[in-house]
Structure 1
């Protein structure tokens, strides 16, 4: 457990599921993912203003994203993000607000 009483990320069942998924991917190559999904080059990209993000060239699948979302929910990523923007003391090792938004 962390100092704030929360379970450590790598000790959650969601982390174990993600690790198992990675093992199941085994030696899958990007070439295989592109062959299985001809639209991967456009379907895994995103543009926000001048920022262009291309996830198609990463070893990630729909299942990977589903498992990552479950991990984020289980570890309250969005709640901690909101607390960070409110300036709450979420830095448990130094008992202070983080400076990421300064």
Structure 2
């Protein structure tokens, strides 16, 4: 019986906090004549401006890790999944 109660107490905060919503943005990255990463931009929006900004930043920071030998004057396309956390079910303390 104690295990069931302990398990229920662990699950309740997850239910009360809400679920996370995944967003997918398609990000384009461009290289210059030397193969260096020069720009990152949104090709297809996730529908959320903040999620798009996070996707662009994540793609830019991880470019070297994902593209070991970048081609010269090339456009790369990558899909970035951004996990958006829902607001807690009990509301926020900020005045509206």
| TM-score (ref. length: structure 1) | 0.23
Q: Which has the higher strand share?
A: 2
RCO higher in 1 or 2 (8 Å CA, sep ≥ 6)? 2
Report which of the two structures shows the higher radius of gyration computed on alpha carbons: 2
